[in-house]
Homo-oligomer: A and B are copies of this chain.
Amino acid sequence: MSTLAFDFSKPVDFVAIGRLCIDLNANEINRPMEDTVTFTKYVGGSPANICIGMSRLGMSTGFIGKVSNDQMGRFITRYLQQNSIDTRNVVTDHSGAVTGLAFTEIKSPTDCSILMYRDNAADLLLTPGEVQEERIAEAKLLLISGTALAKSPSREAVFQALQYARRHGVVVAFDLDYRPYTWSSDEETAVYYNLAAEYCHIVIGTREEFDMMERFESNPDKSDRVTASKWFDYRAEIVVIKHGKEGSIAYTKDGSSHRARSFKAQVIKTFGAGDSYAAGLLYGLMKGWPIERSMTYGSAAAAIVVSSHSCSDAMPTARQIDEFIESSQADE
């Protein structure tokens, strides 16, 4: 059991800040995008997916972000509302920004790529003054996502959100979600990821993402334990390092490490695996479950999403996950 100090007197379970975008998923799959003709529109963006996932799992949720003042922005806000997510802090841009897009290409279940449109994206224009302190103060858990750190003023909005979280005793989870295309330089990336991680109680990322953060440090063996222990000197209680097919490992401040079973899935595409995993994991941690059980729940959620065409729209309910786990055979 983790030592995360959720304040259960707070009325809202979960609030996420950051990217809201549109996925345009190729309908004709198992071919290059040059040969696809039609696309289906979904809400996307890592923190949006996780928030939708948490809401599907029955948590009371809210989102802090910015959308374009057009049909895409209105579609996003409406979809969040349809998923019972509080959108009072979803601000509408008035500078002519657009919604970020992600066209997905599924050449095969294991060969997936994304064509991103991130220029002049509304979500990166959220300002610190637009972050409502009350939205954070009332939440048990705040999720931040690395992409929101990529540019000003969204970057400052996240740091301001972190100040509010500290001021009001809100647990913070950091999904590294590093996307190189929006950053100016690797050095800049490392500096801000490290600054933000100092504030966080739960840090989740891939080995490669942690390597990027250790640019100015010494961890020659890329040791997970060295990586994790650095953050326990700050506020971290749990550090999860993902190793793709080899599974994830969670370190806790007490020095122990944890692994969980993974599931066999009928993989259509790999997109959304990380977001659904995060939702399942955070859900378990908020329920007070042991870390292994929380990780297993995340893995099951991921297995469900990768066997579906969409990400956000495929986020499972607790009943779906329970049934999936029951009927599944774990890989060893």
Q: Are B71 and A115 in contact (CB under 8 A)?
A: yes
B residues within 8 A CB of A195?
159, 195
A105 at interface (Cβ–Cβ under 8 A)?
yes
B residues within 8 A CB of A21?
none
A192 partner, pick from B33, B36, B120, B156, beta carbons under 8 A: B156
Q: Are A191 and B159 in contact (CB under 8 A)?
A: yes
Q: Are A216 and B160 in contact (CB under 8 A)?
A: yes
A152 at interface (Cβ–Cβ under 8 A)?
yes
A152 partner, pick from B98, B117, B188, B194, beta carbons under 8 A: B188
A117-B117 in contact given A152-B188, A216-B160 (Cβ < 8 Å): yes
Q: Which among A33, A75, A188 has the greatest number of chain B C-beta atoms within 10 A?
A: A188
A38 partner, pick from B41, B153, B160, beta carbons under 8 A: B41
A118-146: which residues lie under 8 A (CB-CB) from chain B?
119-120, 127-129, 133
B residues within 8 A CB of A192?
156
B residues within 8 A CB of A33?
71-72, 75
A266 at interface (Cβ–Cβ under 8 A)?
no
Question: A113 — nearest CB in chain B belongs to which residue?
Answer: B71
B residues within 8 A CB of A188?
128, 152-153, 156
A320 at interface (Cβ–Cβ under 8 A)?
no
Q: Can you show 28 pairs from A to B with CB atoms below 8 A apart?
A: A24-B24, A24-B39, A27-B38, A33-B71, A33-B75, A34-B74, A38-B41, A39-B39, A70-B115, A71-B103, A71-B105, A72-B103, A72-B115, A98-B117, A101-B101, A101-B117, A119-B119, A119-B120, A128-B187, A128-B188, A128-B216, A129-B187, A156-B187, A159-B191, A159-B195, A160-B216, A163-B216, A195-B195
